[in-house]
Structure 1
């Protein structure tokens, strides 16, 4: 075979959304692409996300700015919400916008999208090797646990963060000698809060509190939280994750639509009734909300309005890393060039949750994984093509 007829080869390590998109982009650019994943089936975390509806993106007008990461924002501006929806439509998966701006596939699960995506990759010649655990480098060669050694012209690392180990993102790559010096420590993001409850709270575990104001510092977000044996969980907490991780205190506004004055006015006519009866009749507080007041503010004062508007909630920090929806930390941006190539290892690119960024909930995580995968996949194919031409 003549050298000029050879196609450049790109290896993608990891078969989550970022890795699959990198493979698609590299193949579309003319590379021969092989994906290696250590799990028996690809994109397990994506499938898990699909169990709650698969929130793929969001229609917020300042979508890219929410990442607070200029390098990432530039990639998302090129492949953002509109492009994600069009890409999904190309796979036969139409989408709709929910009342809060979140975007979901009409199928409300990930499996149809993944099946169509894998079929598309197979049709363009992308090969997927399962149960292939990458172990690092031996000189220029990529090595695997079964002894396999490969020499692709370019490599895209898409190994994920360090949460949900059972789904494949174990973060073990961060300990490799070539990568460890480049990594900002992993930390949990979009995760529950640990609270050491007294025994009387057990009967309320599983209770959901809707439309609660969560106050950290001078910022309040409204959302839903769930009481659990471990503490508090739910999307209402997630926007506060960075501040809570730093040890900031949390307070709850149990009636965010009412002022203190209104609360006092409603409680006053029922002054002779029991506290529980007053809170239930005048304000519509449920058993779990009343239990929270008794848990954190006993003995209850006569004027309950300030506590209802700002109930301090002592906590013991975030739940462990492996319980987090996503992670902060990862490969530092100063270790990468604008194409997402490692400056210390030319021809090797990194994508998705391997990178040091923190996603808000609501579709930002998946969109950024797709955007970085597309960006690096194209760059890897160009690098590989140049290697084939010049070698």
Structure 2
């Protein structure tokens, strides 16, 4: 089996159906199949894990090596729901799982964990081969549209509507970012119709719109801003960003995107401050700026004395005429005000906030009021920063939901693990 051409299933009812062929869904399928249950994975795309493959273009940051307690803090209000799954299916477990597929990993200088190949395709190929040996089948080009009145799954397939009547279902349909890769948030319609409580989907780990001047946007769109720090609501992070024609994005911005997004929702704008030289104290920077500049222009002096890049100088001027006095200029460089007017669209966000409200689930990730239906991955109402935390939670909740579904099937099927 290959990622491009997995076998189509015959359409007798599977004992377990997994809807969504991203990392959470594939992990749920693996856990179910390992327990001896027949599994069919459905997805609306023509091949599995399209967004997973896209993530691999950036090196595929699988998880983070930091201590578990610190890692769990990254999930904020969702920690209590996700913690049991992540404690069992931890970063160490995930590294061992990769090893079992023949995929070597390494820990980068930031503590992030990557496959040595720095791409997703070898891992996905090995994973699909394992699923094939387990007997997992795929029903691709099938969009889930809800349930029939008597509880059957309904799909819009290549030849029209289809139904399936599994004894257990895992829904792992993703969020709503990068919809062309599969996760378009359309599942909110049938779940809302079924009375499931939902939190509105919102962009997470996203860029923001900034009303740049035409001069800055025209000259510096696409330019990286390196060696900077961003502060907002008492939290400061370091990293890099990218100036765009309509705003700013990049890891430096993503790290605070939830706070910034929510502030804009409350107040209409967010005003973080940018430190263009976080490695220097205000006094150190002022001393450098106080050096005689001779016949040099201010822009040249800022580059030579303060070490500012051309884009940093342009950002400094964007806030108004730079102060002439060295101490005041240093303060401006260390706390440059920015105005964010809106998050960029969810379709280009790295991930999604919102989704199925966590109180809708029991401890096994089963949907309350709909026995035998389990949920996993990004369609749940949690968010986390980039750095491996997103995939870690997708893998962990997929494994937990798969185990929950397997336990459910074991209870209702007794010693009949296969549907005939």
TM-score of the aligned structures, taking structure 1 as reference length: 0.95
Deviation string 1:320-362 (CA, Å, 9 cap, x unpaired) is: 1111100110111111111010102110000000110001110
**1:331 pairs with 2:352:** no
Instruction: Report the alpha carbon displacement of residue 197 of structure 1 after superposing the two structures with TM.
Output: 1.4
The correspondence for 2:298, drawn from 271, 275, 289, is: 275
Match 2:211 to one of 172, 196, 200:
196
User: 1:212: how far off?
Assistant: 0.4
- Structure 2 contact 20–171 (Cα < 8 Å) conserved: yes
Contact 1:44–1:168 (CA under 8 A) maintained in structure 2: yes
Shift of 1:381: 1.4
Q: Of 224, 234, 253, which aligns to 1:218?
A: 234
CA distance in 2, matches of 1:60, 1:233: 25
Q: Is residue 31 of structure 1 aligned with residue 47 of structure 2?
A: no
Of residues 259, 263, 268, the one that matches 2:285 is 263
Alignment check: 8 A CA contact 1:294 1:300 kept: no
Q: Could you tell which deviates more after superposition, 62-71 or 72-81?
A: 62-71
SS of the residue 1:339 aligns to: coil
CA 1:13–1:153 in structure 2 vs 1: closer, same or farther (change >3 Å)?
Answer: same
What CA distance in whole angstroms lies between the structure 1 residues aligned with 2:38 and 2:107? 36
User: 1-side partners of 2:403 and 2:84: how far apart?
Assistant: 15
- Establish whether residue 20 from structure 1 lines up as the match of residue 26 from structure 2: yes
**How far, CA to CA, are the matches of 1:244 and 1:315 in structure 2?**
8
- Taking only aligned residues, the RMSD between alpha carbons, in angstroms, comes to 1.6
Match of 1:355 among 380, 383, 390: 380
**Secondary structure of 2:252's match?**
coil
Of 125, 136, 140, 2:151 maps to 140
Q: CA deviation at 1:196?
A: 1.9
**Stretch deviating more after TM superposition (266-275 or 48-57):** 266-275
Deviations 1:14-62 (Å, cap 9, x if unpaired)? Answer: 0000000000001111211110001001100000000010000111111
| Aligned equivalents of 1:212, 1:224: Cα separation in 2 | 6
CA contact (8 A) 1:8 1:30 kept: no
1:130-188, CA deviations, whole angstroms, 9 ceiling, x for partnerless residues? 10111110021111112211111100001000111001110000111445641111111
2:276 alignment partner in structure 1? 254
- For the pair 1:162 / 2:176, whether they are aligned, the reply is yes
Contact persistence 2:196–2:360 (CA under 8 A): no
> Does the 8 Å contact 1:51/1:109 carry over to 2?
yes
The normalised TM-score by structure 2 is 0.89
Q: 1:360 to 1:299 in 2, by over 3 A?
A: closer
Q: Is the 8 A contact 2:14 2:40 kept in 1?
A: no
- State the Cα deviation string for residues 265-322 of structure 1 (Å, max 9, x = none): 1111225542112211111111100000111233545331111000001121211111
Q: Which residue number in structure 2 is paired with residue 293 of structure 1?
A: 316
4+ long deviations beyond 6 Å: none
Q: CA deviation at 1:9?
A: 1.1
The unaligned stretches of length 5 or more in structure 1 are 1-6
Q: Which runs of 5+ in 2 are unaligned?
A: 1-12, 265-269
More displaced 10-residue stretch of structure 1: 272-281 or 348-357: 272-281
Deviations 1:78-134 (A, max 9, x none): 111111110001111100010000110001100000001011001010001110111
Determine if the alignment matches structure 1 residue 118 to structure 2 residue 128.
Answer: yes
Do the aligned partners of residues 180 and 255 (structure 1) sit closer, same or farther apart at CA in structure 2, a change above 3 Å counting? farther
Number of residues of Structure 1 aligned to a counterpart in Structure 2: 385
Mapped to 2, the partners of 1:315 and 1:143 lie a distance apart of: 42
